[in-house]
Each structure stands twice: as structure tokens, then as C-alpha cells.
């Protein structure tokens, strides 16, 4: 068992919820959970052992050593500007796009970005989640690494520039992939076909693409430049201008790279 830290969580969203649970499971003590809205903070502390919900950013008297800021990207700099921390506290945000610089006024600051998609109602094991760490302070990095190792087997050290590219890659791999599946579900439902018909296909596609090189694995009408089939597909999308557009630009990109 590694050292146990006293930790406060700023934020009450999905990352805050899952991270606080994982930290507690690893033996750390969650002291406080902050949300502007105390009710939201309570929704997180309810699922923890001894954490206190708070709605003030003044942590001058907090017993915590480490503060994780897990808020929406567009709230990050505002929170960073207003939060008051105890002396020598270590503070890290969990954002993929937020730079290290947003915490520049704190001497012991860093980034602790878990690369995963979190849902409120799905339990998730942190063990395999890549944690991307960054700090230009040696002591902060040491502690973040220690905490990281206590919850995950997969620690990466990435500077802000690389982390931004990683986040962009994750948008394609996760958010956009999810949208492709949402579109296919709607197409099927429009025809009264069970969405579950895609299970085996999607699983095999993704296993293949993760084990090998998806560029080489590319199949489908665009990859074989089968313009007749693509034309028929575009016709089926006639009343769906946005999907037609998506179909076109991705097919063009596939055809140009096959």
C-alpha cells in the first residue's frame, strides 16, 4: 500500500465523481468536494465515506495536501483564478486541453488527465485508464505520480502541447466514433431494424483497428472506390443534409488514402 493522501476535489461532474471514488478505493482520504451548487457537491459526497460538500473556493484552512480541479474546460481558468489554497498545497487539473499555465500562480501545480469517457451510472475500473501527467515542479510531479500509480497501471508524461493533440485524437476516436454509431442506430430504427444487429460488426471492426493498423484495414465502398454504391447511399440520405455531408467528406478522405 502506497502512502495515503488527504485530497480535495473541485467539481462535481463525471470526472470528479469517478476520480474521487477511485482515489478513495485506493486508500486516499477525500476531505472535501466543491461545487458552486452545494446540492451537486452532495451528490458526489453521498457516494463517498467521509467527504464534506462545500461551495466556497476558500480552502485556506483545509487539511488537504492535494487538490484536483475537475471542472468543464471553459470554467477552468475562472476557478483557477478564484481558488485559495493552503500553503504548499499541490494542485492539478484534469483537463485534456487546459494547459499547465492556467495554474501558473501556484508553485506546486500540474496536470492529471485521465483519458477515458465517464458516465454517471457506469462503474469503471481506473486500473487501465491512461493518466497523463505534467508538471514543471519536481515535488508536485512526484506526488501526482505516486497518486497516479495508486489508481492506474498506465502513467504517461506528456507536455501540454502533446496532451492537446492527444485530446484531439480522442475526439476522433471516442466522440466521433460514438456519433457514427448514433447515426447508424437512427438509420436502422428508421427501417424498423434492431440496432443490436451491428454488435458483432462493430466489435470486430474496433478489435481489428486497435490490434492492427486501421489505415491498412480500411474496407467499404469508399476504400474500393465503388462510386455506384456511394451514389446509392447518398440517395438514401437525400433528406438528411448533415449526414450526407458527413458521408461525403469521410468517404473522400478514405478514397484518397486507400
Near its own copies in 13-72, by CB under 8 A: 72
Strand order of the sheet with strand 90-93? Answer: 52-54, 29-34, 6-10, 66-69, 90-93, 109-114, 131-134, 155-157
Q: Which of 115, 140, 141, 151 binds its own copies (CB under 8 A)?
A: 115
Under rule CB under 8 A, residue 257 binds its own copies: yes
Residue 119 sits in the site that holds its own copies (CB under 8 A): yes
φ/ψ (deg, to 5) at 48? -120, 175
CB of 158 to its own copies, least distance (A): 7
Q: How far is the CB of 156 from its own copies (least distance, A)?
A: 7
Which positions from 149 through 168 interact with its own copies, judged by CB under 8 A?
154, 156, 158, 161-162, 164-168
Element (H, E) at 30: strand 29-34
User: What is d(CA 201, CA 66) in angstroms, rounded to the nearest whole number?
Assistant: 44
Q: Are 254 and 221 in contact (CB under 8 A)?
A: no
What are the DSSP E strand ranges found in 41-188? 52-54, 66-69, 90-93, 109-114, 131-134, 155-157
With CB under 8 A as the contact rule, the residue among 61, 88, 138, 172 that binds its own copies is: 172
Kindly identify the residues of this chain, within the stretch 181-220, that bind its own copies according to CB under 8 A: 181-188, 190-193, 196-206, 208-210, 213-215, 217-220
- Segment near its own copies (CB under 8 A), from 25-33, 37-45, 143-151, 231-239? 231-239
| Residue 139 or 253 having the CB closest to its own copies | 253
Interaction between residue 231 and its own copies (CB under 8 A)? no
CA distance 186 to 128: 32
179 lines the binding site for its own copies (CB under 8 A): yes
Amino acid at each position: 500500500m502506497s502512502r495515503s493522501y488527504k485530497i480535495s476535489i473541485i467539481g462535481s461532474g463525471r470526472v470528479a465523481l469517478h476520480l474521487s471514488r477511485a482515489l478513495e478505493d485506493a486508500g486516499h482520504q477525500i476531505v472535501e468536494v466543491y461545487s458552486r451548487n452545494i446540492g451537486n457537491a452532495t451528490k458526489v459526497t453521498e457516494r463517498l465515506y467521509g467527504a464534506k460538500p462545500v461551495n466556497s473556493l476558500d480552502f485556506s484552512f483545509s487539511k488537504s495536501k492535494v487538490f484536483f480541479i475537475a471542472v468543464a474546460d471553459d470554467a477552468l481558468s475562472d476557478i483557477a483564478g478564484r481558488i485559495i489554497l493552503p500553503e504548499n498545497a499541490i494542485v492539478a487539473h484534469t483537463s485534456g486541453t487546459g494547459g499547465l499555465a492556467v495554474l501558473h500562480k501556484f508553485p506546486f501545480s500540474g496536470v492529471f488527465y485521465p483519458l477515458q469517457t465517464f458516465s454517471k451510472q457506469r462503474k469503471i475500473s481506473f486500473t487501465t485508464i491512461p493518466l497523463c501527467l505534467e508538471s514543471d515542479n519536481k515535488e508536485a510531479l512526484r506526488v501526482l505520480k505516486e497518486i497516479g500509480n495508486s489508481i492506474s497501471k498506465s502513467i504517461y508524461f506528456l507536455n501540454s502541447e502533446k496532451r492537446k493533440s492527444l485530446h484531439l485524437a480522442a475526439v476522433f476516436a471516442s466522440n466521433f466514433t460514438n456519433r457514427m454509431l448514433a447515426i447508424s442506430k437512427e438509420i436502422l430504427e428508421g427501417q424498423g431494424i434492431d440496432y443490436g444487429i451491428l454488435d458483432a460488426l462493430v466489435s470486430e471492426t474496433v478489435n481489428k483497428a486497435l490490434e492492427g493498423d486501421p489505415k491498412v484495414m480500411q474496407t467499404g465502398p469508399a476504400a474500393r472506390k465503388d462510386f455506384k454504391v456511394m451514389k446509392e447511399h447518398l440517395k438514401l440520405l437525400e433528406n438528411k443534409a448533415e449526414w450526407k455531408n458527413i458521408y461525403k467528406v469521410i468517404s473522400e478522405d478514405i478514397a484518397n488514402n486507400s
